[in-house]
Amino acid sequence: MGLTIALAGVALGANTLRSVATLPAKLRNTKARRGAGSVPAELVQIAMGGAGFFICLALTSLMLLATEGMLTRKGSFSGAGASMVWPALRSRRPSHFWSHMSDRPVSKQILGLFGWLAVTAIAAAVGTLASVHAASFYGELTRPSWAPPASWFGPVWSVLYLLMALAAWDVWRVPPETRTRAPLLLYIVQLAVNALWSWLFFAWRLGGLAFADIVVLLALIVATSVSFWRVKRLAGALLLPYLCWVGFATALNWSVWQSNPALLR
């Protein structure tokens, strides 16, 4: 149940970020069609999506804390309701899932989870800002027969960003004295390179530099995946879909760049 709520919250958040990024163009189109006095439906969509996102985050926190409270030793609480939740917050060594390879209190682990989700979402938003007109530009390009439709990219990247954030959080949970900072630094660097690609390809239409960027990104993902795997195998495995998709995107970038010299420099 907690995982379902978390997935719903991230999906709502991703949709909200995409809506915010494309809002300027939508507002211009709506104003031209309806006049200045009308209220665009996109504003309502963004408000509802944002509210749903934060509600899901709050419900996720309560669900995770309540689950942890029920899993702790009987001696750590007595009664039901809040008395099952707050001892988990006060515990210095949580049990079961939360204590696996981590000495951090439950409250800090949950804040860490939201922190890595936020860091990853910021990188996604930076890239999305450059992709406001990506769908129309993608439609103008000469593409190979194996190129996916534009409608695939939003859902695929939403899932990939969620898996990436979970992988980084899982590595962060490992006590710092048993790992180096390199894996998480690599993760941050590859996020920046990831966001840069959207600007190079969609905003500035520099096909050659975009291809160079995605090759560097692919190498950074391999390095990050290996470093994550050495710390936590699950974290490394969570990056494999990301690695496969960017490998596919690298081939697509090359093909599109070579087929569209007039549109991509």
Residues 141, 15: Cα–Cα separation, whole Å = 25
Residues 65, 169: one domain? no
Same structural domain for residues 130 and 66? no
End position of a domain, from candidates 99, 120, 144: 99
HSE of 6 in the Cβ direction (CA atoms, 13 Å)?
17
263 and 159 in a single domain? The answer is yes
How many domains does the chain fold into?
A: 2
pLDDT range class, residue 8, cuts 50, 70, 90: low
141 plus 257 within the same structural domain: yes
Average pLDDT of span 8-18: 52
Specify whether the CB–CB gap between 144 and 252 falls below 8 A: yes
C-alpha span between 14 and 53 (Å, rounded): 9
For 42-83, what is each residue's pLDDT tens digit?
444 444 555 455 455 545 544 554 444 444 444 444 444 444
Give pLDDT tens digits for 110-163: 999 999 999 999 999 999 999 988 999 999 999 999 999 999 999 999 999 999
* Residue appearing with tokens 């031209």: 32
Domain's final residue, options 99, 117, 143? 99
* Same domain assignment for residues 94 and 180: no
Question: Domain boundary residue among 70, 99, 128?
Answer: 99
CATH code for the domain in which residue 212 is found: 1.20.1260.100
- Say whether both 12 and 82 belong to one domain: yes
Q: Residue 257 CB: number of other CB atoms within 10 A?
A: 20
* Residues counted in the chain: 265
> Are residues 247 and 223 part of one domain?
yes
Identify the residue with better confidence: 75 or 180. 180
Stated pTM of the model: 0.69
Residue 193: other Cβ atoms inside 10 A: 17
The token pair at 192 is 């920046």
Within 35-90, residue ranges assigned H as helices are 41-71, 82-90
Task: Give pLDDT tens digits for 20-44.
Answer: 445 555 555 545 555 544 444 444 4
Domain co-membership, 143 together with 259:
yes
Same domain, 74 and 126: no
Q: How far is CA 243 from CA 4, 76, 237, in A?
A: 25, 43, 10
73 and 189 inside one domain: no
Could you tell me if 265 and 166 lie in one domain? yes
Q: Verify that 66 and 188 share a domain, yes or no.
A: no
Domain that holds residue 59: 1-99
